[in-house]
Amino acid sequence: MDVGRSSLCNCVVNFLLEENYLLTAFELLHELLDDGRDDQAIRLKEYFSDTSRFPPDQISRFNSLRVADPQSLLEEKEAAEEKLAISDYELRLAQEDILRLKSELQKKTDSLNELNDTAAQSSGDASKNDGPKVQQQKRNSSFTDLGPLKDQERWDLNCAVKEYLLLAGYRLTAMTFYEEVTDQNLDNWQNTPACVPDALRHYYYEFLSSTSEAAQEKIALLRGNETLLQANKRLTEERENLLKNKELMDGQINALTKSLEGLQKDLKDKENLVQAMKQSLEHQKQELDGCRAEITSLKMHIGGSRSGKNLAASDADHVQPMSLENYKEEIKKLQMEVEYLKAKKVTALESANLVSSENEITQREDKIIEIHEDKSSISCPVEVASGDVHNEGTQSFDGHSHNDCIDKREDALHDSQNLPNVNSALGNGETILEHNGGLQAENSRLFLKSDGVNDEAVSEKMGLGTIQILADALPKIVPYVLINHREELLPLIMCAIERHPDSGTRDSLTHTLFNLIKRPDEQQRQIIMDACVSLAKNVGEMRTETELLPQCWEQINHMYEERRLLVAQSCGELAEFVRPEIRDSLILSIVQQLVEDAATVVREAAAHNLALLLPLFPNTGKYFKVEELMFQLICDPSGVVVEITLNELVPAVLKWGDKLDHVLRVLLSHLLSSAQRCPPLSGVEGSVESNLRVLGERERWNIDVLLRLLVALLPSVHQKAIETCPFSTTAETTQTVLSTSMLELYASGRVEWASFEWMHVECFPNLIQLACMLSHKEDNLRSRISKFLLAVSEKFGDSYLTCIMLPVFLIAVGDDADLTFFPSAIHSRIKGLRPRSAIAERLSTMCVLPLLLAGVLGAPAKHEQLLEYLRKLLVEDTSKEHQSTRHIPEIIEAVRFLCIYEENHGMIINILWEMVVISNINMKISAAKLLKVIVPYIDAKVASTQVLPALVTLGSDQNLNVKYASIDAFGAVAQHFKNEMIVDKIRIQMDAFLEDGSHEATIAVIRALVVAVPHTTEKLRDYLLSKIFQLTSMPTSTTDLMRRREKANAFCEAIRALDAADLPVASVRDFLLPAIQNLLKDLDALDPAHKEALEIILKERSGGAFDTISKVMGAHIGLSSGLSSVSSFFGEGGLLGKKETTEAATEAPPSPRAVPTTAAAVAAVEDTRFRRIMLGNFGDMLRGKGKTLDDSQPQ
């Protein structure tokens, strides 16, 4: 299947429907249907068949309008041109007829003139006496009615009469006549055939010299001429009209052509605009990625300030609810503390230092907030118990809890805000009389707070410096760490990526993370991916999209498949950490490219992760693209990819998309198209072979995996049929849901049950159509279909099998069936499966009958019905006189296919025994053929106890055809079994056949055993070799050259087959070489290719004695002295020369005339046994002999 082309077509369909270009989409639908791409036109079919968008009444009204489209105008133009050509042709024929008639008329006129002259000279007086009689005869003769006088005829006669009157002297009469003829100018007589001098006398003599028949013929000619002239005139007018119409049509076509060119130009401009918009979109995407990276870096800088503001806001919210009394109390405490210090005689300078120290505390707090910009809360500084105190009352104390730290930070901020009040109190010289140990504690806490904040700021600065150092050092450290220990660096790399503020450095570290190991194994990939998932959880969606996913995209075309596997794995595991719109766009595009990867493991990982990705898609907008990817993976050439797709991806697609009906339609379309695109088995139109297809390896694989997908979808089909059942199913199991009563309700046709009807209305007919394109060699695919049918019968129950499945397939093979349980609306579709011709009947018997036997009647519940049907096919129908109408070879082939299933062997053997013991000759021959084809599927026990006794019975039959048919079956048994007892039985029966001495039996035995030579035992090979020697040693009793050649060919094929096997030395010496010598004695009966091969075998097998044998053979067959030595023929310079290194010391030197040139000697190569086989085309012979049996073995 071309998935790239299908995806592009779907993109075009989506664009046209989204932009509402409905006319273009409708034209695309028709072009797809014309090209046979029905699977890509499904969506457009559904769109335009929607009655809500296109009401039927509106469509019918539009259909009644005539639209002048270019196609109809072109057809009208072509019809007009054709009519014009016909008119021209008829006009030319009419003109030719006129010329021919004129010439004939002239010839007859001349001949009549000559006869009149001769008659006038020979009998002048007789003519005078007979004149009145002739005139009277002419007057009495009845002419054909001449019709009304025409204008031209009246003009000619008037001119002739006027001329006669003037010549005769009747001038007054001529003047009167001239005056009476007012509508014609008698002075101007046109140049016509009637215009001759003294015309009236010429008319008179012409009339006298003519007969009534000649006159009638001339009149008829004149009338015909007139008719032809009128027809010519009419055709000329029609031609002119057609030319005018043609010019008008040409103008319209030119206008439409210009309009079409304009539309094409507009379409091209729009395509350019789309390309420009795509480029602009890509550019904007790149800019958006850059902006996202910048946003990420800015987020890190402003995050802290936002958290600081949030903290300040929370503090303000916390302070505002406090009562005014609390503020006053705090101020009072600070004033008391200052007074206490003054009472201790603290100098003004020390007081100023105290104020500056408090301001410094506030500044350090701000620094702490800035440093912790990535944190959601400010950590509490660690308080220590050591430090210098400036006052005598300062005491050390233990660290407080986190809440105390927050309270101290709030106190410090509050104190820094109220320092002006403290200074004013000092300026006014106010004194505070009260102080206690609590004030001292507060004072001490204030100074310890300052020291803790300072330590935290230093710690944060050191942390950032450490991250920077780590980020700089990691790329230098990683290459020097052992590969098996690099995963120990992952925590450091993740920490640096997560905390480093610079986006460029983070990208570099992310690249290091993905490339940590050059070719990571499965465990290492999982460790790296776990680190990526953990990092994605921590950094959020935005950084995952801008930092992690680009690394996936960069690795997608990496040279190592392990790295591409890492990309495939990341698509499934990182998808939940990005935005939903990224999942079905960028990540799906990555998966789509990985599906087309050359490595099997990458495609397997892509299928697995696509199944994980589908539940995360926000909607089903990308369903059709995902469905295409699913079918592409289903038809993958790797079995591992197909398994992962069937087990994981297909259920995920069905669960996510919930479009089982669409998947089934596309599946059946792919099944048929995979077979239909293959070439036919034969180019002879109308033959059975022209309907069969020669499947390529890829097409065969595609059909097989699609049938597996159909089997996998069967439970879903059954479940949907049960769920959509329109009848009551309360407390009923699956077995009883499809009971006979339920099927009767369905047959009433009152309600629709589309999901149930799909199986027998769509699926079964499509499978039958597919089966009718499979040749008899495709047993594997036919078995796959049969297993699906058995699964259907098991899933839907015995009632469905009996009432629905069986009638469909019986009608498909041409038998009668009961359609009671089918709604009347679909009767015509089911009956349409019946074959309508002899070719269709033979095709259905060849292709559909095996499915009926193995897939429908092969169900356990139909064992008895299968037995009856087989007996009807093989015994009852064959015994009838009209059995020739049945296709016996196709039936035998169907029974052979049934034998693939071992549970049917006993039933078939029993029926075969019935055929063996019956008296019908044709049935016995069919039994022998059946025994031959089922041999590859039975075991040695059945062959010894059932098949061989049946064959012995047939071999003992008096009819020669039955006997010869059993010989071939014996050869098949010898080919497949090496059991010594079976071989002995075969030898005994072959001896019985050879004892008859008939030519046909001998040929049949030799050829049957030759097929078994490569597979049988040494004992049977020696038996065959000995029989060949005996038969070739016998003197030839017949003078029929054709029979001698046929027997010699059979012996030569057997010898060459035996030579290719391992033979004992004694058998070669005693049987093989003498048999070859016997065959070489009769050169007239030997084929040249066989003769050459036998001589090579003789040379190789004879060794040093070959020269002696050659001389004896040369003398026996009477060769001349120069060519009597066969060794010269096989010498180094001979036609078949070769030099055996093992025989160099024993061979005689070649004669001088046979010594070749040096170049020829160097070019000589050693022959081998394999070369002997190939020289004689023995490999082809073996394949031809064993072709039927080899192909019939189960796959």
| pLDDT tens-place string over residues 221-232 | 777 888 888 888
pLDDT in tens, 353-388: 433 444 443 343 343 333 333 333 333 333 333 333
Residues 617-667 have pLDDT tens digits of 999 999 999 999 999 999 999 999 999 999 999 999 999 999 999 999 999
Find the helix packing angle between 779-796 and 764-771, rounded to 10°. Answer: 160
pLDDT in tens, 1075-1115: 999 888 888 888 899 889 999 998 888 864 444 444 444 44
Specify the higher pLDDT residue, 1039 or 1160.
Answer: 1039
Q: Give the residue with greater pLDDT, 204 vs 86.
A: 86
Q: Which residue has the higher pLDDT, 31 or 355?
A: 31
> Which tens digit of pLDDT belongs to each residue from 49-69?
888 888 877 777 666 655 556
- Which is more confident, 1184 or 495? 495
Q: Read off the pLDDT of each residue in 1157-1177 and give the average, rounded to a whole number.
A: 40
pLDDT of residue 157: 82
Helix count and strand count (H, E) for the chain: 58, 0
> Helix or strand or coil: residue 817?
coil
Give the highest mean pLDDT range of 72-86, 426-440, 989-1003: 989-1003
* Helix axes 921-934 and 905-917, enclosed angle (nearest 10): 150
Model confidence pLDDT, tens digit, residues 698-714 = 999 999 999 999 999 99
Q: Which residues pair with 680 in a beta bridge?
A: 693
Q: How confident is the model at residue 339 (pLDDT cuts 50, 70, 90)?
A: low
Average pLDDT over every residue of 1152-1179: 39
The pLDDT, as a whole number, for residue 661 is 94
Are the C-beta atoms of 642 and 708 separated by less than 8 Å?
yes
Cβ proximity of 675 and 41 under 8 Å = no
Reduced to 3 states, what is the DSSP secondary structure of residue 624? helix
CA–CA dist 282, 1086 (Å, integer): 79
Provide the pLDDT confidence category of residue 1130 given band limits of 50, 70 and 90. Answer: very low
CA angle 74, 76, 78 (to 5 degrees): 70
CA distance 492 to 490: 5
- Give the pLDDT score at 887: 76
Q: Does the structure show a pLDDT above 70 at 345?
A: no
Of 673 and 426, the one with more pLDDT: 673
Q: What percent of the chain has pLDDT over 90?
A: 31
- Residue closest to 921 by CA, chosen among 869, 882, 960: 960
Per-residue pLDDT tens for 87-98? Answer: 887 888 888 888
| Tens of pLDDT, residues 137-190 | 444 444 445 667 777 777 788 888 877 778 777 676 777 777 777 777 777 776
Query: In the predicted model, is pLDDT for residue 21 greater than 60?
Result: yes
Tell me what percent of the residues of the chain surpass a pLDDT of 70: 71
Comparing 1160 with 99, the larger pLDDT belongs to 99
Q: Which helix (H) or strand (E) holds 28?
A: helix 22-34
User: CA torsion 628→633→636→639, rounded to 10°?
Assistant: -150
Is the pLDDT score of 795 beyond 70? Answer: yes
* Closest to 1054 measured CA to CA, from 1017, 1023, 1092, 1099: 1023
The two three-digit tokens of residue 466, written as one number: 């450490």
How much is the average pLDDT of 416-420?
37
Average pLDDT over residues 516-541: 90
More confident residue, 507 or 1130: 507
Mean pLDDT score across all residues of the chain: 76
b/e 243-274 (16+ beta carbons within 10 angstroms → b):
eebeeebeebeeebeeeeeeeeeeeeeeeeee
Residue 481 has pLDDT above 60, yes or no: yes
Please tell me the predicted confidence (pLDDT) of residue 911.
93
Q: 419 pLDDT exceeds 70?
A: no
* pLDDT confidence band for 848 (50 / 70 / 90): very high
